[in-house]
Structure 1
Amino acid sequence: MEMGSAEAHLPWALALFFIPLTAILWAILRRPSGRKLPPSPPSLPIIGHMHLMSQLTHRGLARLAAAHGGLFHLRLGLSRTVVVSSPAMAKQVLQLHDHAFAGRPTTASIRYLTYDLSDMAFANYGPFWRQIRKLCVVKLFSRRRAQSWDCVSSEVDSATSAIASSPPRQPVNLGEIAFNLARNVTYRAAFGSSGGRGEEQDKFIGILQEFSKLFGVFNLADFVPWLEVLDLQGIKKRLVKARSELDTFIDRIIDDHLASPKEGDDPKADMVDDMLAFLDESGAAGGDTDSAELAGSFKLTRNNIKAIIMDVMFGGTETVASAIEWAMAELLRNPSEMQKAQAELTKVVGIDRKVNEEDIDKLPYLKCIIKETLRLHPPIPVAMHEAMEDVEVAGFWVPAGTRVLVNAWAIGRMWSAWKRAEEFWPERFVEEEAAREMSGGSFELVPFGSGRRSCPGMRLGLYGLELAVAQLVHCFRWELPAGMKPEEMDMGDVFGLTAPRAVRLCAVPTPRLACPI
């Protein structure tokens, strides 16, 4: 989060707000008698827990959970937040009360950059959101949509070929390779050939990176709403500029697609082609009823298409790239696990060819490695929900409008739920914990969320992750650079929408196959 500009304005902003409105705030935030909120850390008058803002990371929230339990609450300015940090409480929120917590909290930045919640990730739960989700599941991320899945294999091959052609005995930056691989896959799936490569792609990634910063920026107006008009931190100017640049870029791509339309069954059709089948240039989006079929009353505006594309780019780039890098980092830190994975690959695939799609389901230990990576390093460490109505959870009152943070990172490392919780031990999924799966039914393992707001692109993302890691492990022997020992590796992360490694992973590859790579 960008804290510097906020801190510069904080003293007088607090004076503007807190002194004259103390009595009003106290009346708004007092809870009705007889209703018990979840436990909370000690708070301060008026500002509540805003002095704990530095703890609102996956690690900081896990430390607070250790002291206050798997369900606790924080009061941040005018907003209430409930934090979920145990499998039992995750089941309450994501399954037993799934409908009540199907909302998404938003900020001023999110509302503006998603064209007033025109996307799927942050759209209000309701008939239109259900139709957008159906579009994503049935069309955009479907296994029948060959273009998306084929470009995964193609880009993985390009990445391994680039590594093979690098100078011998020299380290390569696996973090950069993973990011470029995930970016290229997502870009091709979304735009096909119309998006261009090189400078055009770099320009779009620059827009994406600014969006990412603005999504995570600390904005005083999110906690003190009437400060938004003052724009004390200059955030509004950045929002307008970023969205204007996105409009220019994607409007051109939409116009190119409209000029050369493709049928839905065209193997070269991309995600923009699929969405343009539902375009309504009049600006009226949505369906009239819950049963509106995709081919019937369901319509999209240009703003819907732009916002969904941003969902796809965020969901398919940073998350997959981070997971690939973390998997390789854990294998390099645990050489015996790398040896087990390569032994399985040699047995199933052999050393005379590379891994193909059909091999993946024959590699059970590789799948255990992927599950263990996602347990320790979930793509979205803290998932955001919002209570759409007053609800009672485990005997505690959670009022409507409360932000609910599900700390998947803390749940995956909970000592009472996992043996050797802090260790990278893939074999756990071969033994008694084998039944725990990642699709949302096992609340000890929720890297993709669960329930109505679970990730619709999970299957495509997992396919890219599994194939990339399998190919990297199969094609090369890996060593740490400059004689570094595994225990010397920096395994720190950086908190944001994702939690990537703090230090990019570099390693020395040596080809191990008897065929050209």
Structure 2
Amino acid sequence: MEPLPMALLFVIPFLLLLRPKGLPIIGNMMMMEQLTHRGLAKLAQKYGGIFHLKMGYLHMVTISNPEMARQVLQVQDNIFSNRPATIAISYLTYNRADMAFAHYGPFWRQMRKLCVMKLFSRKRAESWESVRDEVEKLVKAVSANTGKTVNVGELIFNLTKNITYRAAFGSSSQEGQDEFIKILQEFSKLFGAFNIADCIPWLGWVDPQGLNSRLEKARHALDKFIYTIIDDHIQKRKTNVNGGAGGYYDPDMVDELLAFYSEEAQVNESEDLNSIRVTRDNIKAIIMDVMFGGTETVASAIEWALTELMRSPEDMKRVQRELEEVVGLDRRVEESDLDKLPFLKCCLKETLRLHPPIPLLLHETAEEAVVAGYRIPAKSRVMINAWAIGRDKKSWEDAESFKPRRFMKEGMPDFKGSNFEFIPFGSGRRSCPGMQLGLYTLDLAVAHLLHCFTWELPNGMKRSELYMSDVFGLTAPRATRLYAVPKNRLVCSLF
């Protein structure tokens, strides 16, 4: 035989025997279907708490271990503080004009400071009042359908949608909401869509999925919708300043952002909030951040909490007994009651452990780094699997089970970001800025739904038959909506 065929005869079987995981050029792209929080958790069981994947030219590193997460989010936070952005995310956020995907630096710090101080602050009473008002409407909607099967998941989604829409646009009107939700849904699909150009840039012209045209249409729809909102707010501000008939005008999120509006954004290195200027692109992109962060994530947490409690009748009875003892059956839950309901808080913590609102926390290395002795190249995409970490058998006893009572013990991890075995809101500089408002919505909504009503599964369904799968995306909501039958529990009127 000729030398080359002879060599191939021996080399090819040897390579097949080694079973290399990565192929030339495409690397590990054949494993794309496994790049979900569940799929990566299974790979971590085989390859360990940190492993590397090569997706075309893109380096991806997955962290599924609390101590390694600490290295990324705390010890080397300055290196890992950037967010990766796909082609779709860059385009839909106007080249990172938002807060969620802007690179760490003066602009991002001022955007975060603006959002925390002007939008999510406990001092901004309007945001918190919208939660109370919308929870009131939710209770009325459920009460009007007692004894009937209701789509609990849809009611909860409408709750969080109304809260964020009202906080963003200062309106509780349903006009325009359906259009905006369609825009949000298309953005969510595009954010999560696989684009081969992200991994192999020179194949971008192929566009076999037609993503480029969808991206253009989606951003055009957002432009059109939010330009109308911005123009209306500018006109109202002028009317109010000029002493028009409008009288006192209660500022909302758009008003707060317009106070820093300029045709050309500027970033002052002194990082004085008063020196910040934002463009229309910044305003549009930040509104998208708030709508995404405040709608699906909170709705998912509320629906999962109710699902887990319906699946665990003993824990449901204990929560309702606690509500009866603290609040009584002759009145509704009030904000001042929430801190007196420790077992309810435990149930919500356990829900967040098993079902973190964002299962994969995305980061990017600003420079080369070393974690646990492994070198991570600059510009690598780092995925911290909060879902897997919350179910780590070394950190949690009976990790896969819903056991709220575990949080009654002294010294249990909290979710504020310093205990890395429990990071549903992330940690460090890129932790969730709207955590307090989201938790307030979660606490108040679940407390009211459990105090005002008893819940039964429809059509004789057994609790073991509840579907517990989720849908992977930026968030991980239930794969199917939760349906249940409510019955009034209180002796007082709900209206």
TM-score band w.r.t. shorter chain:
over 0.9
1:501 aligns with 2:481: no
2:394 to 391, 416, 420: 416
CA contact (8 A) 1:172 1:508 kept: yes
Of the structure 1 ranges 226-235 and 177-186, higher mean CA displacement relative to structure 2 is found in 226-235
SS at match of 1:367: helix
Shift of 1:218: 1.0
2:35 paired with 1:56? yes
Classify the secondary structure of the residue corresponding to 1:350. coil
Describe how 1:57-456 pairs up with structure 2 within 5 A.
57-166=36-145, 168-193=146-171, 197-261=173-237, 268-280=250-262, 282-283=263-264, 285-289=265-269, 291-295=270-274, 297-432=275-410, 434-456=411-433
Q: Are the aligned partners of 1:146 and 1:267 in contact in 2 as well (CA < 8 Å)?
A: no
Partners of 1:106 and 1:444 lie apart in 2 by 26
Q: Is the 8 A contact 1:41 1:74 kept in 2?
A: no
Tell me the amino acid that sits aligned with residue 253 of structure 2: M
Amino acid at match of 1:489: L
The answer to whether 1:463 aligns with 2:443 is no
Question: Which amino acid letter does the alignment assign opposite residue 361 of structure 1?
Answer: D
Shift of 1:42: 2.7
Aligned length: 468
For 1:178, what is the secondary structure of its paired residue?
Answer: helix
Measured in 1, the distance between the counterparts of 2:340 and 2:22 equals 53
Task: Return the alpha-carbon distance in structure 1 between the equivalents of residues 362 and 271 of structure 2.
Answer: 28
Please give the per-residue CA displacement for 1:252-289, whole angstroms capped at 9, x wherever unaligned.
111111111269xx782110011111000x22x13220
1:480 aligns with 457
Preserved contact between residue 346 and residue 408 of structure 2 (Cα < 8 Å): yes
Q: How far has the Cα of 1:199 moved from its partner?
A: 4.2
Rounded Cα–Cα distance in structure 2 between residues aligned with 1:46 and 1:307: 34
> Amino acid of the residue matched to residue 448 of structure 2?
Q
How far apart, CA to CA, are the structure 1 residues paired with 2:429 and 2:228?
Answer: 33
CA distance 1:513–1:267, change in 2 (3 Å):
farther
Query: Which blocks of at least 5 consecutive residues in structure 2 are unaligned?
Result: 1-18, 242-247
Aligned partners of 1:446 and 1:506: how far apart in 2?
29
- For the residues of structure 2 that align with 1:267 and 1:254, how far apart are their CA atoms? 15
Query: What SS does the corresponding residue of 2:96 show, helix, strand or coil?
Result: coil
Q: 1:54 to 1:119 in 2, by over 3 A?
A: same
Q: Secondary structure at the match of 2:273?
A: coil
Residues 147 and 267, structure 1, Cα contact 8 Å, conserved in 2: no
Amino acid across the alignment from 1:468: A
Counterpart position of 1:32: none
CA deviations over 1:435-489 (Å, ceiling 9, x no partner): 3111100000000000011000000000001100000000000111111111111
Quote the offset at 1:209 in angstroms: 0.7
Cα offsets for 1:1-38 (capped at 9, x unmatched):
xxxxxxxxxxxxxxxxxxxxxxxxxxxxxxxxxxxxxx
- Matching of residue 513 in structure 1 with residue 490 in structure 2: yes
Asked whether the equivalents of residues 25 and 57 of structure 2 are also in contact (C-alpha less than 8 Å), the reply is no
Instruction: Give, as a single letter, the amino acid of the residue that structure 2 aligns with 1:200.
Output: G
Matched residue SS, 1:152: helix
- Structure 1 unaligned runs (5+)? 1-39
- TM (normalized to structure 2)? 0.93
SS where residue 52 of structure 1 aligns? helix
The equivalent position to 1:45 in structure 2, one of 16, 24, 37, is 24
Q: Per-residue displacement from partner, 1:36-84 (whole Å, max 9, x unpaired)?
A: xxxx983223322111111000000000000011111100000000000
Contact 1:332–1:478 under 8 Å retained in 2:
yes
TM-score by length of 1: 0.89
User: SS in structure 2 opposite 1:149?
Assistant: helix
Does the residue aligned with 2:41 lie in a helix, a strand or coil? helix
Taking the aligned partners of 1:232 and 1:44, their CA distance within structure 2 comes to 22
The Cα RMSD (Å) is: 1.4
- What letter is aligned with 1:220? I
CA contact (8 A) 1:152 1:464 kept: yes
Whole-angstrom distance in 2 between the partners of 1:408 and 1:117:
24
Inter-partner Cα distance in structure 1 for 2:448 and 2:249? 25
